[in-house]
Structure 1
Amino acid sequence: MNKHVGTSQMTAGSTWERPVNPPVLLDNRSQEDIQLWWQLVDGVIDTAKASGWTKAEVARRIGMADGTFSQWFSGKYSGRLDSTNKIVLQWLSAIEENASIAATIPQSPPFMKMRGTVEILDTLMWAQLCPDLVMITLGAGMGKTETCMHFERSRRHVYRATVSENTKTVHGMLTELAEELDVREHNPARLARAIGNKIRRAGDGTLLIVDEGQHLNDEAINQLRHFVDVYKCGVAIVGNAEVYTRFSKEKKKNRSYDQLKSRIGKRLQRPEPYAEDLVAYVRSWGIEDPDCAKFLIGIGKKGGAFRQIDKTMKLATMYANGRGETVALIHITEAWKNRDVEDMA
């Protein structure tokens, strides 16, 4: 939500006009090459318009230089048409094949308001309205990212950035935030101020959600506290328990952990999903058989929670559909066995 939309995506369709004239018949091409060229041009136009891709984006995805693709598409390419046609044909065939495979993969249930997700939503709401710094530390696969995405989609002035080991520093985190807030500042020394000014212009009710927050180093977390103190925005650091335990277990020189801890207005901590949420999630897959439900709930109690159920049910559904059968315990147990993650769960 609240992301900048580039005009290239919005106007891409208007640039895809079908060429009037075909390539000229030369010694290095046949009439069949030209006929295939027409088919491929139409396929590229349909695919690009459906996806909102510009010509430059299509050329990049095909793996062809912009100039070469432009000449090929306009029918003015003087090189071997059969070779270039083959490259485009392989790309279109791969897209069609991927779409065909994707159509057979079952979709996960839509976002659900369960006891656990409501707690996350309430914590995010607190951070946005107060505004305040909150920490949400949940076990893996318990829906924290999906819930944050739902909150971002449903409310104004909410920006969500995901950090990693590669972006755990102050500059790395600020770069991710700048991208989400559509802040263009190339001077690293001015990046934090540029983000702060964007927050100030947005007015009250701005919330920054930093997902996978366990990767952040101490300086990056302190920078987030600075945004709360100076620019009066809400900040939610979302991740596993590691992001908080540094405050309760570690004492490092020249670092005021008490100051950071005192800035945390609310903390939501839960290592395991609620039993009622596991039941609700299993039912959302249309599972009514008690034995199937019991098996899936047992999977959900392992590390990975809802994600384990989700991946197992997708595979089980594909097994059942491929055999023209309704999902049953045999398909679920087979899927769990073939996923082969028991030792990691």
Structure 2
Amino acid sequence: MTATKTQEWPAPRYAPEIGDDDLKIWGDLTQRMAEIAARYGWSKSEVARRSGIATGTLSQWYDGNYAGSFANVSAKVSRWLDSVAEVAATAARIPRAPGYVATPTSRELSDMLLYAQTLGEMAVVTLGAGMGKTMTARHYVETRPHAFLVTMRPTTSSVHGMLVELSRALDVNESNPGRLDRALGEKLRRNGRDTLLIVDEAQNLSDQAVNELRYFLDEYGCGIALLGNEELYGRFGGHKAVPAYAQIHGRIGKRMRRLQPLAGDVDDLIAAWGIEDEKVAKVARALGRKPGALRQITKTLQLAGMYAAGEDRTVTVADIKAAWADRGEEEL
């Protein structure tokens, strides 16, 4: 529940002619509703949508001129307000992940992206699952001008599917499919700028789609970074060229492949979580050696932190083991 612009609600227009007990309940509920709606910037129509109560019914109930049963609507409103409070309380107990952490692997990946952007080259990066590939790419485009990030999936594997996804990511509006690649190319043209297109989950692209990216590299001088898994490395990352991919292979200026996190990656993430107890840190390091690597640490520490926050204490080894078990994983 993300707060938006604060929106004050006017007081109810009428005092309904109902029993004293129902009137008191209605008054308390309308006040709570107005406070919560103002806190999150919700309009009456948004509150109606979230609570599952018809907009007209909710509006009339709030204004005090509802012709139906106030008690029935009040009961629905009460249940909804209680659920909102419960969700907010639960969210407050869940520790926030540190966000981007400049681990050694992340810094190396950032250097790869900077190389591709500065020199207008192609780079291929393969990192194991949960090692911060996507988060690093997002941080890079947030902190560098003229860098763009697009994430591919199986449904965008074709040339056209990829171009449509690129047009959304680059905010290019071109209704003619025959001119879409050129419109994208003009957006990516160096023209005195160091431009970079980062394609995450690039293993989902067909060979023809990857070849289209070569067109942007050759014709418009845009740096290209392909990020993905071992399948991507098998096609384009190896040092020995596969004949079918020779044109792509010859244009790759730099490669990076790492399937397991470095010890420094794990230590930096644990430090970012603020863990000082060495016993807790030792167990957290063990999580980093599991499939999913750094992501396993973050997800498990979030759940463990929730357990600890419920008892107003710091995370213990027992919390981590309980969280790991509750996530359905094997015994640590």
Structure 2 residue aligned with 1:209: 198
Cα deviation, residue 117, structure 1: 0.9
Hey, what's the Cα distance between the residues in 1 that align with 2:176 and 2:14? 48
Cα offsets for 1:56-107 (capped at 9, x unmatched): 8777666789x86997699699885957777777666544433321111111
2:279 aligned with 1:291, yes or no?
A: yes
Cα deviation, residue 26, structure 1: 9.8
Cα deviation, residue 162, structure 1: 1.6
Structure 1 residue aligned with 2:41: 48
Instruction: Classify 1:188/1:70 alpha carbon distance in 2 versus 1 (closer, same or farther; 3 Å).
Output: farther
Hey, what's the Cα distance between the residues in 2 that align with 1:200 and 1:77? 62
Which among 202, 209, 223 is matched to residue 234 of structure 1? 223
Instruction: Answer whether contact 1:48 1:58 (CA < 8 A) is retained.
Output: no
Hey, what's the Cα distance between the residues in 2 that align with 1:62 and 1:201? 50
2:256 aligned with 1:271, yes or no?
A: no
2:107 aligned with 1:118, yes or no?
A: yes
Structure 1 residue aligned with 2:308: 320
Cα deviation, residue 306, structure 1: 0.8
Q: 1:13-24 alignment to 2 at 5 Å?
A: 13=5, 18=9, 22=13
Which amino acid counterpart does residue 234 of structure 2 have in structure 1?
T
Cα deviation, residue 290, structure 1: 3.5
Greater Cα offset, 272-281 or 197-206: 197-206
Instruction: Answer whether contact 1:44 1:92 (CA < 8 A) is retained.
Output: no
Cα deviation, residue 116, structure 1: 0.8
Q: 1:234-273 alignment to 2 at 5 Å?
A: 234-247=223-236, 256-273=244-261
Q: 1:69-218 alignment to 2 at 5 Å?
A: 94-200=83-189, 204-218=193-207
Hey, what's the Cα distance between the residues in 2 that align with 1:200 and 1:79? 64
Hey, what's the Cα distance between the residues in 1 that align with 2:148 and 2:53? 35
Which amino acid counterpart does residue 272 of structure 2 have in structure 1?
S
Instruction: Answer whether contact 2:93 2:310 (CA < 8 A) is retained.
Output: no
Cα deviation, residue 137, structure 1: 0.6
Greater Cα offset, 306-315 or 284-293: 284-293
Hey, what's the Cα distance between the residues in 1 that align with 2:110 and 2:102? 9
Instruction: Answer whether contact 1:292 1:328 (CA < 8 A) is retained.
Output: yes
Instruction: Answer whether contact 2:61 2:73 (CA < 8 A) is retained.
Output: no
Q: Secondary structure at the match of 1:303?
A: coil
The percentage of aligned residue pairs carrying the same residue is 40
Cα deviation, residue 180, structure 1: 2.0
Structure 2 residue aligned with 1:3: none
Cα deviation, residue 129, structure 1: 0.8
Q: 1:328-339 alignment to 2 at 5 Å?
A: 328-339=316-327
Instruction: Classify 1:235/1:107 alpha carbon distance in 2 versus 1 (closer, same or farther; 3 Å).
Output: same
Aligned residues: 323
Cα offsets for 1:95-150 (capped at 9, x unmatched): 44333211111112242222111101100101111112211110011111111111
Hey, what's the Cα distance between the residues in 1 that align with 2:177 and 2:75? 45
Greater Cα offset, 103-112 or 144-153: 103-112
Q: List structure 1 segments (4+ residues) > 4 angstroms apart after TM superposition.
A: 16-21, 23-27, 30-39, 54-65, 67-95, 248-252
Instruction: Classify 1:210/1:33 alpha carbon distance in 2 versus 1 (closer, same or farther; 3 Å).
Output: farther
Cα deviation, residue 245, structure 1: 0.6
Instruction: Classify 1:86/1:242 alpha carbon distance in 2 versus 1 (closer, same or farther; 3 Å).
Output: farther
Q: Secondary structure at the match of 1:342?
A: coil
Hey, what's the Cα distance between the residues in 2 that align with 1:55 and 1:169? 44
Structure 1 residue aligned with 2:330: 342
